[in-house]
Amino acid sequence: MAKIVSQFTVSDLHDEVNLFDENWTRTIGAGQVTYTATVDDAKITIATLEDDDYKPVAKLYFVTGSVVYVIGTAVYYPPHTTKPL
């Protein structure tokens, strides 16, 4: 599969779930949740709910120090590499 490099992405969580791997720290405050990558290739798996189960559709890879903001149902991703599944 090809990899896609994104400069910045805004995602709406109404139809998908972000599954962060263990390489992220989470900070909660001021109406938002902030995730910070602690290693290179920190991963987020994007999944959709299908027949009461999660189906992975893509993996996003980030470098150390990347920050992902979640405000309500919006997710703001910094530059990253995407691998469609």
| Helix, strand, coil percentages for the chain (3-state, nearest 5) | 0, 65, 35
Would the pLDDT of 54 be above 80? yes
State mean pLDDT over 6-10.
55
Judge whether 23 and 35 are in contact, CB under 8 Å: no
In order of 57, 69, 71, the CA distances from 18 in angstroms are 11, 12, 13
pLDDT in tens, 35-48: 999 999 999 999 88
Would the pLDDT of 8 be above 60? no
Regarding predicted confidence, which is higher, 50 or 25? 25
Report the mean per-residue pLDDT for the chain. 85
